[in-house]
Amino acid sequence: MSKTKTYWKGYAEKNKTPEFLNSSQKEFQEKIPVEEFLAEDGIQDLKTGRRDFLKFMGFSVAAASLASCEAPIIKSIPYVNKPEDITPGIANWYSSTFYDGNNYANLLVKSREGRPIWLKGKKDGFTKGGLTPAISTSVLNLYNSARLNGPLKENNQTTWATVDNEITERLSTISNNNGKIRILSNTVISPSSKAAIDAFVEKYASKDESGNISSDVKHIQYDTQSYYGIRKANQNAFGSDFIPNYHFDKAKTIVSIGADFLSSWLMPTKFSIDYSVSRKPENGWMSKHFQFESNFTLSGANADYRARIKPSEELAVVEALLNELRGNSSSSSFSKDTNAKLYEAVNALKKSKGSSLVISGSNDYRVQMVVNKINFILGNYGETINHKETLNLFQGNDSEVEELTNDLVKGNVDALIVYDCNPVYSLPNGASVGEAISGNTEMLKVSLSEYADETAVCCQYVCPNHNYLESWNDFEAINGHVSLQQPTIRPLYNTRQAQESFLVWSGQTERGSSESKAYYNFIRSNWKARGFSEQDDHMSFDDFWNWSVHNGYTNEPISSSSLTETGIIQNFDLNFDSSTSSSEWELSLYQNELGLGQYAANPWLQELPSAITKVVWDNYITMSPSDCFRLFNIDSSDPKAAWDGIHLGQEEKAFVASLKVGSQELKLPVFPLPGQAEGTIGVALGYGRGEGDLSVGKAAFQSDEYGSHLTDENGSLIPVGGNGFKLSSFNDGVLSFSGPVEVMATEERYSLACTQTHHTIMGRTSIVKETTYDFWKENHEYNQEAYNPIVKLHSHEQGGHEEVNATEFSLWDEHPVEQVGHRWGMSIDLSSCNGCGVCITACHSENNVPVVGKDEVRRSRDMHWLRMDRYFSSIEDDNRTKWDESRHVEGDFDYGKLEVPEDNPSVVFMPMLCQHCNHAPCETVCPVAATTHSNEGLNMMTYNRCIGTRYCANNCPYKVRRFNWFNYRDYRKFKNVNPNQDVMARMVLNPDVVVRSRGVMEKCSFCVQRIQEGKLTAKKEARPVVDGDVTTACADACPNDCITFGDWNDESSEIREVSGSDRAYQALEEVGVKPNIWYQLKIRNNNDDVAVHVSEETHAETH
Amino acid sequence: MNKYLKKHLANFLTLVLFVSVTVVSHSQDGEKLFKANCASCHHPVKNATGPKMQGVLQKWEDNGEGDLIYEWVKNPAELYNSGKSKMAKAIWDWSPTVMTPQGHLSEDEVKSIFAYVDAYAPPVTAQGPATDDTVYEAEDETVSFWWWIIIGLMVFVLFATFGVRRELSEVIAAKEGQAVDPKKTFIVSARQWALRNWFVTVLMFVAVALFSGIELFGRLYQVGVYQDYQPSQPIAYSHKLHAGNMGIECRYCHHSAEKSKHAGIPSVNVCMNCHAVVHEGPQYGTEEIDKIHLAAGYNKAKQAYNLDANGFRVEQPLVWNKAHNLPDHVYFSHAQHVHQNTGNIDCRQCHGPVQNYTLGRVSTTEEVNAYATTDEGMEKGIIQLTKPILTMGWCIECHNKKEIDLASTGYYEEIHNRLKSRADVHNNILEDDKVTVKELGGWECAKCHY
């Protein structure tokens, strides 16, 4: 073994802080909530004597037995007129499209008896099955009972007829006086919506003699997360403000400067899938990914090389790259590590001209121009960058938005219609804009929001839009690719689709009822005029339309603008001053799973641990540990004491720091995150929704220990986290999400809920295996032992001392699962898994997993059946020196030596779920046989038999069993977080899975409801089960196809094949539990030279 | 029921029977022919899709076209087009719906149909409960209530007797000059008696304890057992009429049983397949069927659905009471059990002889076992079980008995092939020469609990 690497879940484990040791040595990490049970009904306060107790007992026993004698009457209401295609008990799937101005994805919506309950990406759509957690959980937003039920006027319920009459009347008056009418929306990529808005503009705009529409009526597009820098740079460089389509599946070298293309940048749904193609070494090649960034993003975690830079250094980094590529040496002031990685990147780029990709997440057009130049020199245009097929996303023009906000503050606008954006929440000067809007009583103010949100409450009229699952729409995210959105449920409330509102106000159509087909007919007429006439596969329009609705998309251009032919990309010169100033602290705002805040009230999303930090239900400052020492005056001369001094906020409260940009201040807890660039502050956007008691959803606000909402000194609700948008700014007409910031330590302390230290696997670090691409390529045909060693144990059976494969030892008789019926198996590819978390949310909604809220997560009582273990890894300090001496090659950079391991660790993500062991330790300890083994290899959990001893959880080596502590659907502690406690949100429950009750153990069931369903399908069709009949929710939803599920006993199945691959191993093989899950070890394409990652220590432990 | 009323009713029924017997002899063929050819559109005395038929012949004869009616029946269009019939023109103009030509009927046959129709008298619908069906309703409550009163009275009498006896003995003692011990209360004397007769006391105590223990155990055992449960329903639907008398297949109405986990309560549009035309039942007349029409939004006079302003039917969903209830943690699939390629089990295996019930009802094991011994039951391969229906014991008992034919379908063939390569397991399963559901995993928890 050449070199060892250590794996640790956080610095606490790495440095064995008392916090960590304490929690890891506890048999049960969770405290038993005796006080809470008692406090539930105030029993503690009562003086209950023994005799009273007996009376209570006797009465309750009698009452219980009396009650159980009476059969409850269960009502059942069948359809009056059953729709032909709905059979109660059988799910229907509809193709649709998700677009919210930030993310775009083609979807398949699972609907049961007319209720959408589950989503997955559509594999044959443009986004090839791409999903983000926000999209995956969006089905719950439909059932948010905070949604508006009908139009509002001055915050009072009114009728559609009233608002329509009054609005059109006032608009006509304004129009006659040549007043200023402004529509503010996020980027509209729907051809039909655009046509509806155009019709509105046409109606109210005055025209000059030649018929040109004057600028007094204007539609302004505003992207909450702005990409205006890219458009501006392309305008400067190529004369057209396009955003090209990027092809990560063709890129051999990827250099990203601060662009988190796997979770938020531009079109992560498509990019992450393309990227995963390049991360499966079996495809014959593997991309080399460099990431230069300040925050630890998902893309950074997946990168082969990650260097930490400040946001202000982005321009210098790209210029250094450009200079190196041109052969000019550059004198830069980067750290040695960054320099080394730059050098490595340049080498890689040079080797892969025409098949490389350099991207930047900066909104500074200068950075983007240099990036353009680099890609141009590398010949990437037309290869990995498709500038002919452009993205229509993010067409916002920041300077127009800034102008509008100035006008609003001045009171120059006569009518404002806000559609699908929330400027009062998300603009840097949102609060003052909000005051200006609500203060201007002369102005006609209309919001089309689904909620009475920050902007809507400033408006006079609110005309609530449908949820996207109730709407018809079409989208053209990429030029020439048009997809359709179809409703999967009737409108739940008295809402009206925004496009219909525009059509009604422009006199194009009459107001329809809740069953209105106005906009549907409008889309159809658009498609008839354009898309249908340009194809010749379908004879009749209905045929063409039905085919498109069924498919969810068409490749016929529907929009009036034909494909943007961005001519031949011309060479261009750079002429700007590249000098930048650096400040002590720099802020970098980013998007995490929560996105841009639209879904802050979605409890599934809030409870999803953030990919890197594993914090739930909160917003925080990420800061490098050394900065923490500095800011909070911790003496770092004694490393041990220093590390003990900072806290994750889980066991002990975290520090709180105050951030100040201009006049805006934000106080947030500090999360010490290894890998954060020094001197930078990371803050996630999208938190702090609903400030001022807005009705955006119960889960958007903090709850106390007993489930009531927390209130501040004024008695108003406290939102979850702080609003990071307050710290953004307009910079030269461009929205900027980074910049200098003042940071001040405070005396306050704050508790965070972080699952990082939960469920430790007791130091058995052999759980993860990884190697490098070069090493794998060299060895995978002959010498798999080199990177995927079989765990061996020592045997003295024959008197001698020999090493025997761990799998050969067996304490118990073998379960007959091989060749007997089915044996369900799963394989998870750690190499293409990027840790996005969609599997967790998919499992959550499929299996009715309860949401428990922050306080319970803090007590390690999170209920996720599937968790995403995030391991940091670094090269072992002691061995490093030794290794350096022996392996050092002249000219090779050895950056590993330069740093403290905690500063820039690499990351492995590992989805961890019940391994369905064939020798399951949980089964042997259950006193009531509530968990048993099936002849199909499943480790079955029988809730109705479980008495809650928790022995099984204690005996599980993977720590994947979850105890159901409370009656989550009734107990008041969960009233604001658990969707089951909401009449509307209850509709999202999967009727095929029981809602578990208090006192039972839960865990992954391998989606046994889907297994039974798949088997039944095969049985009914009188054929064997084949691949595709049965998938688990996680495998079904996984965008990157990392999870393979199937019948291992079927010799032609995919799972049978991959379980025998050279990368396959089983987690904790040495424990001898014989799981039915295989992992494919992770391969990185770098020169870490770490071939085998089973540490010596662990090997020794197994003796 | 009142005895006089009963008597009168019986007399009346006899009279009706007598009258109808005389008619029947004439129009027996006519009835058969009417039902086979005309009844789908015509009713003897009511307008349906076609006009009522009673008196039609008379009408044609009155108009002097008594012969032409046979031509009309054979081919209405031809008669109309020929222009020789005024009646034909009148009917044609009355309704745009053209009558289906009945060319295959001979003149005599048409005559016999009219003979039947003209003699038709609507059946007398007896008011009150059905004569042949037991309506299962919870009536025992009152019975047990009276029992309790009687027991209470007896206890009271018992104590009173004791008291009187005591008083008397005290009086006697006083008369005889013996001192009455004021401390000797009823309880004290009872205790003394018990101590004197300790053996009897212990025996009694044990007996009472044993009895109440057994009773309690038996009661607890019945908790959650819903045998014989028959909730009332919004419509007095009769399985006996539909599935029994008419022989309609279960899965005509409960059609999702083969596809889905739910057999489903039929949607109203399924009822309307027949009841768009059939407006009257034999037992309740129009009363119950009107409820279906109300639910469906059907106007039987206009023979059209009522529509609202938006063109949607004015519907009123029916709220049924579920008879077969399983706990939430039980997953049961009808498709798995009744589809021909899966379990292929007859509905009566679990639901009993439904053709004998009126409202939906949970059958009892005894009923199913009795049915299993009939010819029909044996033909359908009904298995006799012992545990109460809809309990887990009953489920797994059947899973242990029910055999699977491994050669039956592609699915089980594949399972069989795999098994053959595992001699140990295969031999184990085939020890008794049969493969049961249990042996293929039908007793495993997660097959039904998730």
pLDDT greater than 60 at residue A207 = yes
Report pLDDT for A240. 82
Phi, psi of A951 (to 5 degrees): -60, -40
Between residues 1031 and 1090 of chain A, which touch chain B (CB distance below 8 Å)?
Answer: 1049
Q: CB contact, 8 Å: B230 with chain A? A: no
Distance, in Å, from the CA atom of A727 to the CA atom of A725, rounded to the nearest integer, reads: 5
Average pLDDT of chain A is 84
Q: Report, as an integer, the average pLDDT of A755-768.
A: 67
CA atoms within 13 A on the CB side of A128: 14
A627's enclosing H/E stretch is helix A625-631
Q: How confident is the model at residue A894 (pLDDT cuts 50, 70, 90)?
A: very low
User: What confidence tens digit (pLDDT) does each residue in A11-39 have?
Assistant: 666 666 666 666 666 655 555 555 555 55
Report pLDDT for A271. 93
Is CATH 1.10.760.10 what the domain over B2-119 is classified as, yes or no?
yes
Phi, psi of A1056 (to 5 degrees): -60, -40
Q: Do B322 and A74 touch (CB under 8 A)?
A: yes
From residue A572, alpha-carbon distances to A92, A370, A383, A431, B76 in Å are 53, 10, 19, 41, 89
Report pLDDT for A645. 80
Report pLDDT for B20. 44
Distance, in Å, from the CA atom of B287 to the CA atom of B302, rounded to the nearest integer, reads: 18
Residues of A in contact with B226 (CB under 8 A): 71
Report pLDDT for A25. 61
pLDDT greater than 70 at residue B126 = no
Q: CB contact, 8 Å: A819 with chain B? A: yes
How far away is chain B from the Cα of A986, in angstroms, using its nearest Cα? 15
Give the pair of three-digit tokens for residue A541: 């329009």
Nearest to A345 by CA among A286, A278, A290: A290
User: What confidence tens digit (pLDDT) does each residue in B289-336 have?
Assistant: 999 999 999 988 888 888 888 788 888 999 999 999 888 889 999 999
Report pLDDT for A105. 93
User: What confidence tens digit (pLDDT) does each residue in A224-264 have?
Assistant: 999 999 998 888 888 888 898 899 999 999 999 999 999 99
Distance, in Å, from the CA atom of A650 to the CA atom of A19, rounded to the nearest integer, reads: 9
- Other C-beta atoms lying within 10 Å of the C-beta of residue A843: 22
Distance, in Å, from the CA atom of A151 to the CA atom of A448, rounded to the nearest integer, reads: 9
Q: How confident is the model at residue A1071 (pLDDT cuts 50, 70, 90)?
A: confident
Q: How confident is the model at residue A587 (pLDDT cuts 50, 70, 90)?
A: very high
pLDDT greater than 70 at residue A208 = no
Between residues 417 and 446 of chain B, which touch chain A (CB distance below 8 Å)?
Answer: 418-419, 421-422, 424-425, 440-441, 444-446
Q: Report, as an integer, the average pLDDT of B169-184.
A: 77
A220 touches A187 (CB < 8 A): no
Residue type, A850: P
Report pLDDT for A644. 76
Q: How confident is the model at residue A290 (pLDDT cuts 50, 70, 90)?
A: very high
Report pLDDT for B48. 67
Residues of B in contact with A1016 (CB under 8 A): 333, 335-336, 342
How far away is chain A from the Cα of B206, in angstroms, using its nearest Cα? 23
Residues 6 or more apart whose Cβ sits within 8 Å of residue A612: A296, A297, A298, A301, A673, A675, A870, A907
CA-CA-CA-CA dihedral for B307, B308, B311, B313, to nearest 10: -50
Report pLDDT for A889. 43
Report pLDDT for A1093. 45
Report pLDDT for A886. 40
Residue A672 β-bridge partners: A623
pLDDT greater than 80 at residue A853 = yes
Give the pair of three-digit tokens for residue A964: 């159901």
Average pLDDT of chain B is 81
User: What confidence tens digit (pLDDT) does each residue in B43-97 have?
Assistant: 777 776 677 788 888 888 888 887 888 888 888 888 888 878 888 888 777 766 6
- Other C-beta atoms lying within 10 Å of the C-beta of residue A923: 20
Q: How confident is the model at residue A505 (pLDDT cuts 50, 70, 90)?
A: very high
Distance, in Å, from the CA atom of B389 to the CA atom of B365, rounded to the nearest integer, reads: 6
pTM above 0.95, yes or no: no
Report pLDDT for B17. 45
User: What confidence tens digit (pLDDT) does each residue in A944-959 have?
Assistant: 899 999 999 989 989 8
From residue B134, alpha-carbon distances to B138, B141, B277, B349 in Å are 12, 17, 28, 22
User: What confidence tens digit (pLDDT) does each residue in A959-1015 have?
Assistant: 899 999 999 988 889 999 999 888 899 999 999 999 998 899 999 999 999 999 999
Residues 6 or more apart whose Cβ sits within 8 Å of residue A1058: A827, A1044, A1064, A1078, A1080
B162's enclosing H/E stretch is helix B140-175
Number of H helices, E strands in chain A: 33, 46
pLDDT greater than 60 at residue A1086 = yes
pLDDT greater than 90 at residue A914 = yes
Sign of the CA dihedral running A451, A456, A461, A465: negative
User: What confidence tens digit (pLDDT) does each residue in B8-33 have?
Assistant: 555 555 444 444 444 444 445 777 77
Residues of A in contact with B306 (CB under 8 A): none
* Domain boundaries of chain B, sorted by first residue: 2-119, 133-220
Report pLDDT for A575. 62
Q: CB contact, 8 Å: A71 with chain B? A: yes
Radius of gyration of chain B (CA): 34
A701 touches A720 (CB < 8 A): yes
Q: How confident is the model at residue B136 (pLDDT cuts 50, 70, 90)?
A: very low
With 0-12 / 13-18 / 19 or more C-beta atoms within 10 angstroms meaning exposed / middle / buried, residue A41 is exposed
Distance, in Å, from the CA atom of B267 to the CA atom of A227, rounded to the nearest integer, reads: 53
Identify the top-confidence range among A218-232, A872-886, B178-192, B417-431.
Answer: A218-232
pLDDT greater than 60 at residue A41 = no
Report pLDDT for B133. 42
Report pLDDT for B114. 85
Q: Concatenated DSSP letters for A389-437?
A: EEE-S----HHHHHHHHHHHHHT--SEEEEES--HHHHSTTHHHHHHHH
What percent of chain A is modeled with pLDDT above 90?
Answer: 46
Q: How confident is the model at residue B219 (pLDDT cuts 50, 70, 90)?
A: confident
User: What confidence tens digit (pLDDT) does each residue in B258-280 have?
Assistant: 899 998 899 999 999 888 888 88
Q: Do B329 and A941 touch (CB under 8 A)?
A: no
From B259, B267, B450, residue closest to A81, measured CB to CB: B267
Q: How confident is the model at residue A108 (pLDDT cuts 50, 70, 90)?
A: very high
Q: How confident is the model at residue A1102 (pLDDT cuts 50, 70, 90)?
A: very low
Q: How confident is the model at residue A556 (pLDDT cuts 50, 70, 90)?
A: low
B331 touches B261 (CB < 8 A): yes
Give the pair of three-digit tokens for residue A968: 């989550």
Report pLDDT for A184. 93
User: Exposure string (b/e) for B294-325, b if CB count within 10 Å is 16 or more?
Assistant: ebbbbebeeeebeeeeeeeeebeebebbebbb
Q: Report, as an integer, the average pLDDT of A1065-1075.
A: 87
3-state helix, strand, coil in chain B (%, to 5): 55, 5, 45
User: What confidence tens digit (pLDDT) does each residue in A680-710 have?
Assistant: 999 999 999 988 888 899 999 999 888 889 9
Q: Do A80 and B261 touch (CB under 8 A)?
A: no
From B226, B317, B335, residue closest to A80, measured CB to CB: B317
Between residues 989 and 1008 of chain A, which touch chain B (CB distance below 8 Å)?
Answer: 992-995, 1005, 1008
Q: What is the ipTM of this complex?
A: 0.83
Q: CB contact, 8 Å: B257 with chain A? A: no
